[in-house]
Structure 1
Amino acid sequence: MPSRLLGRTGRSVSTVGLGTWQLGGDWGDVSEPDARAVLDASVEAGVTLFDTADVYGDGRSERIIGAFRAADPSVPLTVATKTGRRVDQTPEAYTLEHLREWTDRSRRNLGQDTLDLVQLHCPPTAVYEDDRVYDALDTLVADGAIAAYGVSVEEAAQALTAIARPHVASVQIILNAFRLKPLDEVLPAAEAAGVGILARVPLASGLLSGKYDEHTTFSADDHRSYNRHGEAFDQGETFSGVDYEAGVKAAAAFTALVREHGPADATPAQVAIAWVAQLPGVTSVIPGARNPEQARSNAAAATLPPLSDAFRAGVRDLYDSRLRAAIHGRW
């Protein structure tokens, strides 16, 4: 597995990591043994970056990762967690007292004295602009509670605000073949500033796997059922904000593009991940996985050969013709 420096953290991480939202909830039930099997398979495939959050299953995802690390401390891992969504989303909530409380809870869950990387978890826009928030995070670094901090964002403008801050180590942002706006300014700005980019939702909540159609149903506790229009959290987190029926049609076009111009024997999901991983400025792609087979397949995307110019042009054409009008201006 290739690795890259994760921005200002000073750590090298695998170019394909593992997102662990699904180990906590909102994707249907995943048992703890199944979750452990996913972590095992990922590490065996060369993954060295796990991304989690304190609200994934109210800390369940963090605790599972903490137990995994405790079972074999020699495994080389960077664990990035996220914080801030345990309270009502008002800028005033992001105080040193709260940030210390939240990170202390994550330290207990993960069994770490010092957290590798803490990311603000898509807070209100005003938080990214608040000097006091960065001062509080700097205090936690000085105290040894966290080694580095970054942000997770919904919008490109929020990312650019954070990148301008001198101690922000990384930015996590939705980036996939159905969400191209970060290519305009965010990736160049991050690369110039030495800020890492963690690309989440690389498969547009599974659409880019090519496995879904207009008849596919999802369980009631899966956000792909209950958040299609932003009922529970930002709509962009579900299918990248793409209307489901339009997304199914666009995914079929993406699959056809993979068959015509993609690497032989690679699945649409692998090519979708590789397309993101091969973008200049991207540090690591963090797809989720519900079983070991998915985890191994996702990790294998890191070793695909460079994608052709024809394929990349096809992705741009697909986005411009089918999705740009509805997506580009929103996030």
Structure 2
Amino acid sequence: MNIRTLGKTGYDVSEIGLGTWQLGESFGPVSDESANEILKTARSLDVNFWDTADVYGGGQSERRIGAFRDRKGVFVATKLGRNGEIFPNKTGYNKKNIKESLAGSLKRLGVETLDLAQLHTIPTEVLRDGEVFTIMDGLRDAGMMRHWGASVENVEEALLAMRAPGCTTLQVIFNLFRQDYITEVFPVAQKNNVGVIVRLPLASGLLSGKWTKETKFASTDHRNFNANGEKFNVGETFSGLKFETGIELADQLKQMIPAGMPLSQFALRWILDQPAVSTIIAGVTRPDQLRANVDATRREPIEPVLVAKLADWYQDKVRPQIRGRI
């Protein structure tokens, strides 16, 4: 497994990480046995960066990671700020509530200090105010976490978070359907030595290349109940595209990629070719999916001519159809 340094944290992390939203059964049932097998596979493949959050399954994802004992050399990042009991209606980002949230994650993960605590897509106005950054600095200095970062939903929020010197990482929605960060955010991240964690690299599965317009999702799957932003930011599902539109665009991509290369691995390789990116966290529900993601690191970099073609295609065909803030 190739490794990269996660910005100012100094952590040497695997290029392919593991997203664990699915371990909270947000996409359907995942047994304890299946969850454990995914974590074991991550260890066997040297996937050493695992991302979770306090709200994934009401803490279930964190508890499952906490119960997994073979975590030597693994960096676990969690997130806070969307627990409605602690932050009702996404308000109350004060020291007391943030400390309570972090304490819950510490207990569920079974650690004394968190490797990385990330603000979890908190309101833009809270980022603009900036007091939350001072609070995170103080709780870091008190030993609750070694580093803190921010998971954001758009370019403006990424730039706001990087105003704070204490912000060591950014987690962003970045993929072939969301390319604006290349010019707007990545240069600033590199200048400030902020690690970039990419989430939704396959646009909620659209870039797996395996779906058709007839594909259906379970009622508990966000790709069903949030397809149009009914429950949370529309950009978190299908990168803000309508499902049918995303299928059409994915079919266009299949005509551009090298013969014999799966679309999913092409999409991951394209992200890995961005020097600002530290790691990619893709959620998987089966061990073979994680193995396939890791295989993308062994692919050759994409030819510059094709990269330029993809940039033009994004501007002309994709960007005008994205809903929500980019």
Q: TM-score, normalised by structure 2?
A: 0.96
**1:91–1:126 contact (8 Å) kept in structure 2:** no
- From 310, 314, 317, the counterpart of 2:312: 317
Contact 1:277–1:302 (CA under 8 A) maintained in structure 2: yes
Match of 1:158 in 2: 157
Partner amino acid for 1:104? Answer: A
Report the equivalent of 2:74: 77
The match for 2:24 is 24
Task: Tell me how far 1:90 sits from its aligned partner.
Answer: 5.6
CA deviations 1:10-59 (Å, max 9, x no partner) are 21111110111111132121112111111111221121100110000000
**CA offsets per residue over residues 260-300 of structure 1, 9 Å max, x none?**
5xxxx432111111111211211111111110000111112
Q: Which moved more, 1:202-211 or 1:248-257?
A: 248-257
Whole-Å Cα distance in 2 between the matches of residues 3 and 314 of structure 1?
28
Q: Which moved more, 1:133-142 or 1:237-246?
A: 133-142
Aligned to 1:132: 131
Matched, 1:49 2:49: yes
Contact 1:122 1:152 in 2 (8 A): yes
Q: Give the alignment of 1:221-240 within 5 angstroms.
A: 221-240=220-239
Number of aligned positions between the proteins: 324
Task: Look up the match of 2:67.
Answer: 67
Number of the residue aligned with 1:96: 95
Q: Secondary structure at the match of 1:54?
A: coil
| Bigger Cα displacement from structure 2, 310-319 vs 211-220 | 310-319
Mapping of 1:255-294 within 5 angstroms?
255-260=254-259, 265-294=260-289
Amino acid at match of 1:168: C
> Counterparts of 1:190 and 1:302 in 2: how far apart (Å)?
22
Higher mean Cα deviation, 22-31 or 171-180?
22-31
Specify the code of the residue in structure 2 equivalent to 1:317: D
State the Cα distance separating 1:72 from its structure 2 match: 2.1
1: CA distance between counterparts of 2:313 and 2:209?
15
Q: CA shift at 1:132, angstroms?
A: 2.2
In structure 2, list runs of 5 or more residues that go unmatched. none
Bigger shift: 132-141 or 150-159? 132-141
| Correspondence for 2:296 | 301
Give unmatched runs, 5+ long, in structure 1: none
Moved more, 188-197 or 250-259: 250-259
CA contact (8 A) 2:235 2:323 kept: no
Say whether the 8 Å CA contact 1:42–1:299 is kept in structure 2: no
How far apart in 2 are the matches of 1:246 and 1:234?
18
The SS at the match of 1:151 is strand
Contact 1:175 1:182 in 2 (8 A): yes
**Does the 8 Å CA contact 2:82/2:90 hold for their aligned counterparts?**
no
Determine the structure 1 residue equivalent to 2:241.
Answer: 242
Report the residue type matching 1:268 in the other structure: L
Q: Which residue of 2 aligns with 1:3?
A: 3
- 2:83 is matched by which residue type in structure 1? R
What letter is aligned with 1:82? Answer: K
SS at match of 1:26: coil
In the TM superposition, residue 307 of structure 1 has moved relative to its aligned partner by 1.1
Deviations 1:75-127 (A, max 9, x none): 31000100010135667511110111000000011111000000000000012
* d(CA) in 1 for partners of 2:246, 2:272: 22
Show the counterpart of 2:142: 143
1:227 positional shift: 0.4
Distance 2:281 2:244 in 1: 25
> Is the 1:45–1:300 contact (alpha carbons within 8 Å) kept by the matching residues of 2?
no
Q: CA RMSD in A?
A: 1.5
**Aligned partners of 1:253 and 1:318 also within 8 Å:** no
- Other structure's SS at 1:287 match: strand
The answer to whether 1:176 aligns with 2:154 is no
Q: Following the alignment from structure 1 to structure 2, what is the Cα–Cα distance between the partners of residues 223 and 105?
A: 25
Distance 2:207 2:171 in 1: 20
Give the match for residue 254 of structure 1.
Answer: 253
- For residues 310 and 284 of structure 2, the distance between their equivalents in structure 1, rounded to whole angstroms, comes to 24
User: Residue 7 of structure 1 contacts residue 196 of structure 1 at CA under 8 Å; is this kept in 2?
Assistant: yes
C-alpha separation in 1, matches of 2:42 and 2:292: 9
